[in-house]
A and B are shown apart, each in its own frame.
Chain A
Amino acid sequence: MSQALRAASIALAAACCLNAGCGPNADFASATKQPAQRIEFWTLALAPFEPYLRERIAAFERIHPGAQVVWVDVPFEAIDRKLTAAAAAGRAPDVLNLSDRTFGRFAGLGAMADLRPLLEFRAEDIYLDGALSIGRFGNRLLAVPWYLTTQISMVNAELLDRGGLKFDNLARDWSGLRSQAIAYRAKTGKHLFSLPLGEESQLPIIMWAENLRPLRPSAADGGRLVSNLLDERVAAYIRGWVDFYRSGAMPSEAATRDHSHLTEMYQNRELAQIDSGPNFLKRVQDVAPGVYASTVARAPVTGMSGKSHIATMVVAVTRRSRQPKLASQFAAFITSPESQTEFCRLAPILPSTPASLRSEIFTAQESSTDKVAAARSIAAASLRDAVALTPAMEVWPDLRRAFEESMKRMLLDARDTDAELRELNDTWNAILSEGPPAFEECLPRLAPGIEPAEARP
C-alpha cells in the first residue's frame, strides 16, 4: 500500500475511534439529535428525592404526549459554575430550580424568561404572596416559588451539659447566644455554635431580623435605597460579630466556609448548637447516630424581632429555552398544589401553595417520638414567625457578595473594622447607583408571617 494511503487510513481509523460510542454509559460523541419536545430540568441538591421526581416527570409526560423531560440534579456549590458553563456552551437547561439566593444572581443577568405571558393562570391565585415576591421583578415574573424551608435549631444536649448549660436555659436570640458561647468556651474550650459569616453570610439576613436596616431610603432622590451601613447601630452590630469571632468563640471555619461546615462540625461534636433545615436531622441520623441520640430540636434562633428566615426555592424558565411554552407548563406542573402536597409528605419542607397547607400532614404532631417528624412540625409552627428576609432587589446578590468579601477581610486579615465598613459603604452605594432603582417596598416586611391554618389563596 502506498505511504499516503497508509497514513490516511491511520488517520481515518483514529477519527473513527474518536467518534464511535465507546464506553459503557458515557457520552463519547456529541449528543444525537434531540426529539422535538425535549426539555431539560435542573434541580438543586434533590438527588435523595429521585423517586418522587421521576414519578412527577412520568405524570407530566403522560399529560403531554411527545414531551420528554431530562432531569439533572446539581449540587449546591456547583450551580454557579455549571449554569455559567452550560449557558456559555449554549446548553442551558429549559427549566431551572434555584434557591432564592442563586436565583437573584442570575435573574439580574437576563437569564430568565418572563413567565406572565407563558402561564395559563394567574400566579397570585395559586401561590403565597410572600413566596411569589421573590420572583417578581417590576411587572415581570421571572420565577414561580416551589418549596419553602425554615430552619430549626438542633442542640446536642450532652455537649451542652458539659458546658454547664441546660437546654431550657439556652438563649433563643443571637446576642444571648453569643454571651453564652463565650462562657461556654471559657469552661470547655470548645465552640457553642457557629454561623457562616464570610461565605453565604447569614449576617445580611439576620440584621433584618434584629430590627436593623442595612439599607434605607435616601432623603432625596425620590426615596431610592442607599446604604445604611454607617448607621451607629448597624455598624456596632457588625463590629460586635467581628469582635466575637476574633475572641475565638467562633470556629475559624465561620469565616471561610458556607453552611455545610455547621452540620459537619455538629456531626463531629465540635458544635453544640446549629440552625439548619430539618432535613439535616435525617442526615445526622445517618452519619452520626451517637450525636443524633443526644440531639433535641427546637425553634430556630431569632433576632430581636422574634422572626426567622424562610428560604424559598423557585423554579424558572431560561430565556434561551427552545421550548418556552412546554417548559413553563412543566414549571407550573412541578409547583402545583398537588405536586407540592405530595412532596411535603416526603420531606420536611413546606409548600408555597396555600391549598397544600390545608392538608392533614400539617396538623401538629408536636409530641411525636420520631424526631424528624417532630422537627417538621416545629418547622411548620415556626412558619408563623418566619419571613422572607431577603429584599426583592436585583442587586441584592451583589451587595451580599461585597459584604462577604468585606467580612472575610475583617475576620481573616484583621482589617480595621471602621475603615473596612466605610469602604463597604462606598461599594454598596456604587452598586446601588449602578443598578435599577429600588425603593422601600423592596425591603423585607416584618409583618406577621404566614398562618398555616388560615392561609387564604
Chain B
Amino acid sequence: MMSRPPALTASIYALGALLAAIAIGPVLWLALIALQRPGKDLNSISADITLANFAAAWDKGRLAGPLVNSILTTLLRAALNVLLAALAAYPLARMSFRGRDAIFVLILATMMIPDQVILVPLFRIVAGLGMYDTLAALVVPFAVSALGIFMCRQAFLQIPASMDEAARIDGASSLAIWWHVIVPLSAPTLATLALFSVIGAWSDLLWPLVVLQNSRNYTLPVAINELTGAFNTNLRLAYAAAVLALVPIIAAFLAVQRWFRPQLFAGAVKG
C-alpha cells in the first residue's frame, strides 16, 4: 500500500479541520451571541456572558409546550413511518398477489409528487377532516412515505427467501415471519428510515406554519419563527431559542451516532 507523503497528510488534516470549522462554526457563533448580555451590540462578543437570554427565551417564548409537541409528533411520525413502510413493503417484496405490481407503481408514482406542490389542497383536506390546528395534522398526513416503502422493499429483497421458508415450515404466520425474521434482519435500513423521519419531522417549518394556529399547539420551529417576528425587538431571544431547539436533536444524534455508519447507506447506493 502506498504511503502518503507528509505534505499530503498535513493538507488532509488542514482541510478536515476547515470543514469541521465550517460545520459547527455558524451555530457556535449563534450560541455565543445568545450568551451575550442584552443591550450590547448584536454583532460583538465579549467574555461577559449570561444565561439570561436562554431563561428568557424559555419563559417568554413559552418553549415548554412546543418542546413537548415537537418530541411527541416527531417520535410518533417516525414510529409510524417505520411501521407502516415495513408492513407495506413486506408483501411487495415477498408475496405475489393480484395487483401487486400496480400497487407498487402507484406507490412509486406518489414519490414524484413533492409536498410543496400539494400544499394547498392538503391543507384543505386536513381542515376538512377536522385536524386544523391539531397535532394530528402534523402526524397523520406524513405517517408514511413512498420513499420509506421503497427503501424497506429494497432491504427485504436482500433477505434470502430461504429464511422465510424455514419459518413457514415451522408453521409461522406471515405476521410472525415479518416480525421475527424480516424486521430484525433489516434493522439497519429501518434505523436509517427512522433517523430520516426524525430529522425531517423535528425540522419541519412550512407545514406547521400553515396548519397550526393556537400557540399551545406550536412545534419548536414555529415558536422560534415567531420570536423572529416583527414586534419582538430582541433577536437574542430568538437565537437562544434556536440553540435550545438544537440541544435535544443533537443529543439524540450523538447518542446513536456510533451505530450510524456509512454502511447504512449501502442500500441507497446499490439502488
Q: Which residues of A contact B (CB under 8 A)?
A: 2-3, 6-7, 14, 17-19, 22-31, 45, 72, 75-78, 81-82, 85-86, 88-91, 258-260, 263-264, 267-270, 280, 283, 287-291
Q: Collect the chain B residues with CB atoms within 8 Å of residue A24's CB.
A: 65, 68
CB distance from B59 to the nearest CB of A (A): 13
When A75-B229, A75-B231 are in contact, do A18 and B136 touch as well, CB less than 8 Å?
Answer: yes
Task: Report whether A29 and B136 are in contact in the complex, using a CB–CB cutoff of 8 Å.
Answer: yes
Task: Report whether A91 and B213 are in contact in the complex, using a CB–CB cutoff of 8 Å.
Answer: yes
CB distance from A88 to the nearest CB of B (A): 7
Q: How far is the CA of A416 from the CA of B175 in the complex (A)?
A: 71
When A3-B174, A25-B216, A258-B230 are in contact, do A81 and B209 touch as well, CB less than 8 Å?
Answer: yes
CB distance from B172 to the nearest CB of A (A): 10
Task: Report whether B38 and A288 are in contact in the complex, using a CB–CB cutoff of 8 Å.
Answer: yes
B240 within 8 A of A: no
Q: How far is the CA of A270 from the CA of B42 in the complex (A)?
A: 10
Task: Report whether A18 and B210 are in contact in the complex, using a CB–CB cutoff of 8 Å.
Answer: no
What are 15 inter-chain pairs, A to B, with CB distance below 8 A?
A: A3-B174, A6-B175, A18-B139, A25-B65, A30-B136, A31-B133, A75-B229, A77-B229, A77-B230, A85-B211, A88-B123, A91-B213, A260-B229, A269-B41, A291-B39
| 5 cross-chain pairs, A with B, having the tightest CB-CB distances, nearest first | A30-B130, A89-B127, A77-B230, A89-B132, A288-B39
Within 8 A of A (CB), among B182-240: 209-211, 213-214, 216-217, 226, 229-235
B244 within 8 A of A: no
Q: Collect the chain A residues with CB atoms within 8 Å of residue B72's CB.
A: 22-23, 26
Q: Collect the chain B residues with CB atoms within 8 Å of residue A264's CB.
A: 42, 233, 235
Within 8 A of A (CB), among B104-156: 123-124, 127, 130-136, 139-140
Q: Which of chain A's residues has its CB closest to B127's CB? A: A89
When A45-B231, A268-B42 are in contact, do A3 and B136 touch as well, CB less than 8 Å?
Answer: no
B69 within 8 A of A: yes
When A24-B65, A86-B213 are in contact, do A30 and B131 touch as well, CB less than 8 Å?
Answer: yes
Q: Collect the chain B residues with CB atoms within 8 Å of residue A289's CB.
A: 39
Task: Report whether A260 and B68 are in contact in the complex, using a CB–CB cutoff of 8 Å.
Answer: no
CB distance from A252 to the nearest CB of B (A): 14
Task: Report whether B124 and A88 are in contact in the complex, using a CB–CB cutoff of 8 Å.
Answer: yes
B173 within 8 A of A: yes
B65, B80, B226: the one within 8 Å of A26 (CB) = B65
Q: Which of chain B's residues has its CB closest to A17's CB? A: B76
Task: Report whether A23 and B39 are in contact in the complex, using a CB–CB cutoff of 8 Å.
Answer: no
Task: Report whether A260 and B213 are in contact in the complex, using a CB–CB cutoff of 8 Å.
Answer: no
CB distance from A29 to the nearest CB of B (A): 6
When A18-B136, A287-B234 are in contact, do A26 and B217 touch as well, CB less than 8 Å?
Answer: yes
Q: Which of chain B's residues has its CB closest to A19's CB? A: B136
Task: Report whether B175 and A3 are in contact in the complex, using a CB–CB cutoff of 8 Å.
Answer: yes
Q: Collect the chain A residues with CB atoms within 8 Å of residue B65's CB.
A: 24-26
CB distance from B26 to the nearest CB of A (A): 20
Q: Collect the chain A residues with CB atoms within 8 Å of residue B39's CB.
A: 267, 287-291
A26, A85, A268, A283: the one within 8 Å of B123 (CB) = A85
Q: Collect the chain B residues with CB atoms within 8 Å of residue A14's CB.
A: 80, 83
A2, A26, A75, A86: the one within 8 Å of B135 (CB) = A26
Q: How far is the CA of A31 from the CA of B127 in the complex (A)?
A: 12
Q: How far is the CA of A258 from the CA of B232 in the complex (A)?
A: 12
Within 8 A of A (CB), among B81-116: 83
Task: Report whether A85 and B233 are in contact in the complex, using a CB–CB cutoff of 8 Å.
Answer: no
Q: How far is the CA of A89 from the CA of B69 in the complex (A)?
A: 22
When A26-B68, A268-B42 are in contact, do A3 and B173 touch as well, CB less than 8 Å?
Answer: yes
Chain A proximity mask over B6-20: 1 for CB below 8 Å, otherwise 0: 000000000000000
CB distance from A394 to the nearest CB of B (A): 25
Q: Collect the chain A residues with CB atoms within 8 Å of residue B174's CB.
A: 3
Task: Report whether B69 and A30 are in contact in the complex, using a CB–CB cutoff of 8 Å.
Answer: no
When A18-B139, A18-B140 are in contact, do A28 and B230 touch as well, CB less than 8 Å?
Answer: no
Q: How far is the CA of A258 from the CA of B229 in the complex (A)?
A: 10
When A85-B123, A90-B127, A264-B235 are in contact, do A78 and B229 touch as well, CB less than 8 Å?
Answer: yes
Q: Collect the chain A residues with CB atoms within 8 Å of residue B235's CB.
A: 264
CB distance from B129 to the nearest CB of A (A): 8
Q: Collect the chain B residues with CB atoms within 8 Å of residue A26's CB.
A: 65, 68-69, 72, 135, 216-217
Task: Report whether A287 and B230 are in contact in the complex, using a CB–CB cutoff of 8 Å.
Answer: no
